[in-house]
Structure 1
């Protein structure tokens, strides 16, 4: 055996791999079929090995977002105007850009809840009337300067100054702000207000940039790009603008690598501007943009390269009745307003205007959004009940015109109530003589002197005998006696002061903006009310006129408009009687002491349960008075390319807040070992 083993021993060179020449000799010894079989097995081995390696890598690594990539969003029919936190306009694009460039003490998370941003911590003192906020130590402006408590105080003082005409000024009236040691700010409120924390989402301005600029020289226009210095996750990089018209074609922001929060993964964000939906649609199909938003889904068919997100937002549309309207007092009648509410088919609005991307609303506190109790009074669509309600109110359908009208009896200018006899005088005698003078055959002289003389008595006798069957016969008299008593008075009143009835039509002028989706909603309501027999005229006005004329002067009968609540529901600005006059937001001029008390209670309660209870009581009080008909709450529809990941926002307070977690968005990925 030992001899056999010795014969089997290999020298060290036997362990070396074959050389290229040896491989050539090896293949030359194989037949064609053997070579095919060998290479087939070799390929299978390599593929299997690669597959096993791939499985191993997949099982022992994970996909992780990677830095890099450019996101471009399409914007239609808007141009940036005021990219300044003090002067946010009604344009969503202005708010979008401010959201990316600037930051506030607090911000909203993906659930629409308030969370600290520049604030490191905060303390509530003196039963909610004093709030102290301590700032982060690592926050810097885009130009490298540190952000301090002085910047916060400066920003608030700036918007409180009436010379700067900030629309946010009313939210800060009576609030005292002061810097305290430890990079902190103290806010003193005139009274407890649990919604004040929403004010602290105010974007902060850099004091060192704006401190020496007079109010009249404050940069209002977008062209002042050198003032776009913030502390947000992205900073201004480039503006592509038509040199002749000034039309902004594209604006680009780059990642703020010194951002105090989670560093954004996206390298750049650009907004590309299109003049109409058709241009944007072409860009979408060509995949030139990776995101866009629109309420008007009919113009944007589904595409497999984009995902759509239905984001809940506390905005609703409603019909507001002008409570002080003198030209159409029908609209102050509770039963009329009830009938109008019952006639509206909200499902038509949801389906036809918002492509089923909206929910029905019946209350100003949005119970479905804030998880409150539904109101006791809900006006579900019921045309028959609406018709019956109007019928009971006296508004009948005119078969000739097809419109509803109410017969109104005009008040008689004069009625004989006293007995009149020979030698009486006064105003009643004057009216008697005026009446008799209408009959030349009875009172030929027609003399009107206020004295019941022989001529007047003779005329009364002739009048009594002319209407013998109505005056004399019922009293058993055969000839007139010249005395004006009950029978004679009744006939005089009937002939001389006949009742003139008039038809009061039920007509409504519905005022609204000329911007989508308001005209489309108005047309559906018009058809609903026409089915009820109402003549409804739609008055569409530009937004500027709506603000300066319609809202400021309360120049409307019924206004179709929208309102928005915040993360902390506070309907006080929209319904408290102190907000009736311009620039208050109480559109309907609603006035109710009971409602006022509940709104004040809701503002002052720190307990969420107490606040909810007060608001639920308030909604029932308001719906009994019905100063408005609540319609729908549309979702915010946002489209993102399949290439964009990390978007998790479910609730927002306004469209710009979709960027509240922009630092988590990503395009590029990489694998890392688990």
Structure 2
């Protein structure tokens, strides 16, 4: 019903009642019999309810619910912040989370595995994918109300390229020519097409006018790292410390001159706790509205709480695998590698370590599901027997004479290193048991992070339990992990795997714009990897985030990093209101 027709109806009803004299109504009431009075009152009540219902229905039909401003959102964290500065990378997830709220990029993750405009109002690919041109929105300002221009983008990239900051993308940006065509337009020229380039334009911009007078070698010491100035939906308001000078709370407030939609929530409070148990207790007591990175064995208890909490479970493309050094003598035979792969019970790892919050794999995450290397220790034993490994002394460990001159057999021993962390320790324990069951003795070594990374960089291991995460959205760029050129020191080809077909496939994926073509290439990659077994792929853990139901947000189905869950925080809201339709 149109509003105009409702207005006419209202006038007619008012005119009718204006002709009804009270004295006549009273006289009529007096002559009615009791049953007639009941019928009259019932009809009158029904009429009133009908009028109210029509009014409500007309209001709801002719109005739309939209987000309203107001409210406070609180997130619990355990890790203390260090440097809230996008060009300082230290692996601190808390820094990255705060940067996602305070700073902006040309593009940002859309929560579906792709990207969407952020600072850029338009983004265009030219010259067959070797040139990208981004145009900034109008009237973008920093939190200190200074204008944001193309010069800020160039300055940020220059800082990422600075040797003093050792940014992981320094080499990437050194290979790209960046030009400011105007204060609002930036051109990026690549040496060759790279379909994943838009994913790299989600980097956060820092203000040139704030940082240009700070020597690069003093960036880490600047107070601006704890009281940052950005251009994102939320700006820094207050830093609260506890009695030990540890960070107790970061308070952010909505930026009124934000260029995009929203933000709607007035205040975001990031609260810090000494450990996971304290943060989970705060969630139960409603001191915070959300908490992420929940330990696998605690998730079930959170799910069963009586509070109305949603468990967000976006896909995070992390692969946990047992990588095999292809240059180690014992691992050069593909039958031996297959024997190891068949011996590992992925499903038991999913159940026992991750409490079912993981997906078993037999290829890198996002490439294939578990279809071929199903737990089959009998097949493992067949392969080992074929290779001459037998338990001649019945001690449970296989052995064989390594040469015709050998007088005594050599036992089947292999070494495995892993990062000293609870999850990895538990997975390693499963692997040791599974391999022992087929007669392989595993020498297990837990390493601290620095030594672990050093062993990866130098490829100093036989077996290594490690995780890899792609950072290019729902289509993985697997070139850095599997191209033969990435075997050198600091390269990410952990297994030192060489295959010309794989080199061609991972190179072609970087140039392919057609999704169907990409899927064909990924299938070919998965089939070749399964055949050669440079690693036993184990699981993709399920990342979990508990959040109150009253926080409304766009669907978050895919993130590359935990901080990306805040990429669209400007669209979050707690309250709603109605507006009349046009």
2:383 to 389, 405, 414: 389
In the alignment, the residues of structure 1 paired with residue 577 and residue 146 of structure 2 have an alpha-carbon distance, to the nearest angstrom, of: 34
Partner of 2:296: 297
Partner of 1:185: 186
Aligned-pair RMSD on alpha carbons? 3.4
Mean CA deviation greater in 386-395 or 584-593 = 584-593
Assess, with a 3 A threshold, how the Cα gap between structure 1 residues 42 and 189 changes in structure 2: closer, same or farther: closer
1:644 to 533, 548, 551: 551
5 Å-filtered alignment, 1:104-183, equals 104-181=105-182, 183=184
In the alignment, the residues of structure 1 paired with residue 50 and residue 461 of structure 2 have an alpha-carbon distance, to the nearest angstrom, of: 78
2:451 to 540, 545, 560: 545
SS of corresponding position for 1:536: strand
1:564 to 457, 469, 474: 469
1:281 matched to 2:187? The reply is: no
1:626 to 530, 533, 540: 533
In the alignment, the residues of structure 2 paired with residue 352 and residue 292 of structure 1 have an alpha-carbon distance, to the nearest angstrom, of: 23
1:658 to 551, 556, 565: 565
In the alignment, the residues of structure 2 paired with residue 601 and residue 50 of structure 1 have an alpha-carbon distance, to the nearest angstrom, of: 65
1:505 matched to 2:411? The reply is: yes
Native 8 Å contact 1:318 1:632 kept in 2 = yes
In the alignment, the residues of structure 1 paired with residue 568 and residue 322 of structure 2 have an alpha-carbon distance, to the nearest angstrom, of: 34
Distance apart, 1:46 and its partner CA: 9.0
Partner of 1:31: none
Native 8 Å contact 1:238 1:253 kept in 2 = yes
Assess, with a 3 A threshold, how the Cα gap between structure 1 residues 47 and 624 changes in structure 2: closer, same or farther: closer
Partner of 1:26: none
Partner of 2:396: 402
1:310 matched to 2:346? The reply is: no
Native 8 Å contact 2:319 2:365 kept in 1 = no
| Length, aligned pairs only | 557
Native 8 Å contact 1:322 1:556 kept in 2 = yes
Native 8 Å contact 1:508 1:534 kept in 2 = yes
1:554 matched to 2:459? The reply is: yes
Post-superposition Cα deviations, 1:188-216, rounded to whole Å, max 9, x if no partner, equal: 22222222222111111111111122221
SS of corresponding position for 1:219: helix
Distance apart, 1:317 and its partner CA: 1.0
5 Å-filtered alignment, 1:331-370, equals 331-364=331-364, 366-367=366-367
In the alignment, the residues of structure 2 paired with residue 17 and residue 607 of structure 1 have an alpha-carbon distance, to the nearest angstrom, of: 78
Distance apart, 1:164 and its partner CA: 2.5
> Can you give the 5+ residue segments of structure 1 that lack an aligned partner in the other structure?
1-13, 24-37, 369-373, 412-499
SS of corresponding position for 1:281: helix
SS of corresponding position for 2:198: helix
SS of corresponding position for 1:335: helix
Native 8 Å contact 2:67 2:575 kept in 1 = yes
Native 8 Å contact 2:296 2:357 kept in 1 = no
Assess, with a 3 A threshold, how the Cα gap between structure 1 residues 105 and 15 changes in structure 2: closer, same or farther: closer
Distance apart, 1:143 and its partner CA: 0.9
Partner of 2:327: 324
In the alignment, the residues of structure 2 paired with residue 74 and residue 247 of structure 1 have an alpha-carbon distance, to the nearest angstrom, of: 15
Native 8 Å contact 1:510 1:559 kept in 2 = yes
Native 8 Å contact 1:349 1:524 kept in 2 = yes
In the alignment, the residues of structure 1 paired with residue 63 and residue 128 of structure 2 have an alpha-carbon distance, to the nearest angstrom, of: 53
Native 8 Å contact 1:124 1:131 kept in 2 = yes
Distance apart, 1:618 and its partner CA: 3.0
Report the structure number with the largest CA radius of gyration. Answer: 1
Mean CA deviation greater in 180-189 or 309-318 = 180-189
Post-superposition Cα deviations, 1:30-74, rounded to whole Å, max 9, x if no partner, equal: xxxxxxxx9999999999987887677666655432211111111
Distance apart, 1:365 and its partner CA: 6.1
Assess, with a 3 A threshold, how the Cα gap between structure 1 residues 516 and 262 changes in structure 2: closer, same or farther: farther
> Can you give the 5+ residue segments of structure 2 that lack an aligned partner in the other structure?
1-18, 27-39
Partner of 1:449: none
In the alignment, the residues of structure 2 paired with residue 197 and residue 317 of structure 1 have an alpha-carbon distance, to the nearest angstrom, of: 26
Assess, with a 3 A threshold, how the Cα gap between structure 1 residues 383 and 216 changes in structure 2: closer, same or farther: same
5 Å-filtered alignment, 1:152-301, equals 152-181=153-182, 183-219=184-220, 224-226=225-227, 228-242=228-242, 244=244, 246-300=245-299, 301=301
In the alignment, the residues of structure 2 paired with residue 241 and residue 313 of structure 1 have an alpha-carbon distance, to the nearest angstrom, of: 33
In the alignment, the residues of structure 2 paired with residue 334 and residue 661 of structure 1 have an alpha-carbon distance, to the nearest angstrom, of: 46
Partner of 2:68: 66
Post-superposition Cα deviations, 1:353-390, rounded to whole Å, max 9, x if no partner, equal: 2232222222236235xxxxx79x82121111111111
In the alignment, the residues of structure 2 paired with residue 92 and residue 532 of structure 1 have an alpha-carbon distance, to the nearest angstrom, of: 40
In the alignment, the residues of structure 2 paired with residue 622 and residue 101 of structure 1 have an alpha-carbon distance, to the nearest angstrom, of: 41
Distance apart, 1:652 and its partner CA: 1.6
Distance apart, 1:221 and its partner CA: 7.0
In the alignment, the residues of structure 2 paired with residue 60 and residue 195 of structure 1 have an alpha-carbon distance, to the nearest angstrom, of: 44
In the alignment, the residues of structure 2 paired with residue 128 and residue 269 of structure 1 have an alpha-carbon distance, to the nearest angstrom, of: 39
